[in-house]
Amino acid sequence: MKHSLRSRPNPSRRRFLTGMAAGAVTLAALRPARARSAKPRELAFFHLHTEERLRVEYHDGHRYLPDALGEISHFLRDFRTGEVHAIDPGVLDILHALQQGTASGDRPFHIISAYRSPATNAMLRKRSKGVAKHSYHMQGRAIDIRLPGVALHHLYRAALALKRGGVGLYTQSNFIHVDTGRVRTWGA
């Protein structure tokens, strides 16, 4: 005698499937509300070497804005050579999270270094053993910053708490480094 699984529905299975269907309907109903409540992401910068300023919305709450990313990449170019390289949006998201986490409002990040061409990185390596041979700066995945009104150690601890990549503390030069590489830290 063959038994059919359909002939005897399991009440707990039915309850589970009904619950899953209800959950899916609830999630579907919440998605549009969550999408509507997504907030745009804006950043402000002051480049210490070029004295240029930039305030830009780089994400509209739903997607990255290509024109804004291009503007940011140009702003964060290698100031020594003028070479422009795409900046990883993950770096921008780290900055935005730091801005939110430090309650710094809309104060501009002071930029010490962002993209570095291979030639610039090699030149800096000759001057300092603290410059990595395969620096994330050369990939547009790192930035050295300070944030006026936020103590350097507080900014460093806030960056560490994000657990989003590398975080370096440079107290003598008064800046921190953040990147989108693996989670690691130095200079504490």
- List of domains in the chain: 41-186 (3.30.1380.10)
At 112, give phi and psi (nearest 5°).
-95, -45
Give the strands of the sheet with 142-146, arranged side by side.
53-59, 41-47, 109-113, 142-146, 175-179, 166-170, 184-186
pLDDT tens-place values along the chain, 188 residues long: 444 444 445 555 555 445 555 544 444 444 444 444 589 999 999 999 999 999 999 999 999 999 999 999 999 999 999 999 999 999 999 999 999 999 888 899 999 999 999 999 999 888 887 788 889 999 999 999 999 999 999 999 999 999 999 999 999 999 999 999 999 999 86
Report the distance separating Cα 139 and Cα 113, nearest Å.
13
In the chain, what is the greatest distance between 2 CA atoms, to the nearest angstrom?
85
pTM: 0.78
Would you mind telling me the total number of residues written for the chain in this entry?
Answer: 188
Looking at the DSSP bridge assignments, the partners of residue 186 are 168
